[in-house]
Amino acid sequence: MKVLVLYDYPPSPGGLATQGDLLYRGLLETGVDAHAVNFESAQEKEWYYRWFEPDVVVGIGYWGHTPQLVLHPQRYGVQPVPWLVADGYIANYQEVLDALPLILVTSNWVKEMYVRDGISGDKIEVLPVGCDTDVFAPFSKDDPKVLSVRESLGVSPDQLMILTVGGDAASKGAQEVMQALAIIDTKAPDWKYVCKVWPQPRTKLQNLADLELATTLGIEKNVIYTTNIVSRKFMPYLIDACDIYAAPSRLEGFGMPQVEAGACGKPVIGINAMGMLDTLVHGETAFLANIAQQIVVNEVTVGDESGFEDRHRVIFQSPRTVDYRASVHDIANYLMDLMTDAALREKMGKAARERVVKHFDYRVVAKRFVQLMNDTLGIQ
């Protein structure tokens, strides 16, 4: 089997790039003849089509990347298999995607979104995102690298550290976590809440709004926002530095940081919806807060990034849920349970680690990919 993998290559620290790179690495370690190329590099992709002659081109992205992941390889007579995430709705390219023999998605919730928006479900297979469980692994709290992370953040050894990681924190449920922490502040053990966000212009206003909320709630001295650029090498130690990973995300097609936290042996607080229904087990590896609110829209405005003219209106035949909000009181109760019970944190973290190693290790995912190519497309 010869596979060309299209993603943000060489990989940046982002989720889609990591998803593609772990598949590429897993395929190589499984013995598959594979190459990686940037999904936007038309010339280099064509170069690989001509001399490598891949059996399949797997492209990592979302439906808006259909021109790069599907149409481009089709132009050269190569079989594309997109591995897609979703952002709440699929506004375009239904006809192109529905004509494919196979589409891979990251969770059952993502599959539901594509089926709801016009793609035949019998050609969609769920392939979870891989995790490097050799790198994301439990480290001792006394490990110098872990201690250094806590020291650099100003978290003392006797404080409980709660962590959220994302491009921005609000989309990962940080505002709901802050409201929950404000409820239990006077009853809970000493704590610090760390939000690691990616520095980018679009999130500056969101970060300010989040910090303003912390001030309004009276917990600003316990909330730390860190916006430094970091590599994937740093992330396992950041996660290992925390005691609880909290990310009841508003929109989550898979939840890679939640899985990585589980691989590091950390209990997770999530939301009882979307991709987390695949990755987390309530009461065993995580606590899943109930849905308190669904944000519903009747129309959206899209543009060139989605294959439309600028400011194109898409009006839905029926309202679409594009965002969720987790129950603040559920989060507060679960935080209190974990913050006051070290044995529970350890038990859930151990179960989370075992589940990630068994189901989401990148080598397991690569083998599943190979089996799917064999079973669905007859590619050996």
pLDDT band at 205 (very low <50, low <70, confident <90, very high): confident
Answer yes or no: are the C-beta atoms of 355 and 200 closer than 8 Å: no
pLDDT at 308: 76
Phi (first) and psi of residue 364, to 5 degrees: -65, -45
Q: Which residues pair with 162 in a beta bridge?
A: 193, 244
- How far, in Å, CA of 367 to CA of 365, rounded? 5
**What is the mean predicted confidence (pLDDT) over 250-269?**
96
Mean pLDDT of the chain: 94
Strands 33-38 and 124-126: unpaired
pLDDT at 112: 94
Please say if the pLDDT value at position 307 is more than 80: no
- How far, in Å, CA of 163 to CA of 165, rounded? 7
Which CATH code for domain 2-130+361-377? 3.40.50.2000
Give the number of other CB atoms < 10 A from CB of residue 374. Answer: 12
pLDDT at 331: 98
- How far, in Å, CA of 284 to CA of 271, rounded? 14
Of the candidate ranges 45-49, 106-110, 165-169, 298-302, the one whose mean pLDDT is the lowest: 298-302
Whole-prediction pTM value?
Answer: 0.94
pLDDT band at 268 (very low <50, low <70, confident <90, very high): very high
158 three-state secondary structure: coil
Please say if the pLDDT value at position 31 is more than 90: yes
Q: Which residues pair with 104 in a beta bridge?
A: 83, 125
Domain 144-290+327-359: which CATH number of 3.40.50.300, 3.40.50.10440, 3.40.50.2000, 3.40.50.150: 3.40.50.2000
286 three-state secondary structure: strand
pLDDT single digits (tens) 86-134:
877 788 899 999 999 999 999 999 999 999 988 999 999 999 999 999 9
Domain with CATH 3.40.50.2000 in the chain: 2-130+361-377, 144-290+327-359
Tracing tokens 């690569």 back to the chain, one arrives at 366
- How far, in Å, CA of 280 to CA of 334, rounded? 15
Please say if the pLDDT value at position 287 is more than 80: yes
DSSP 3: E
Handedness of CA 58, 62, 63, 66 (dihedral sign): negative
The answer, yes or no, to whether the previous bond of 67 is cis (omega within 30 of 0) is: no
pLDDT at 378: 95
More confident residue, 199 or 5: 5
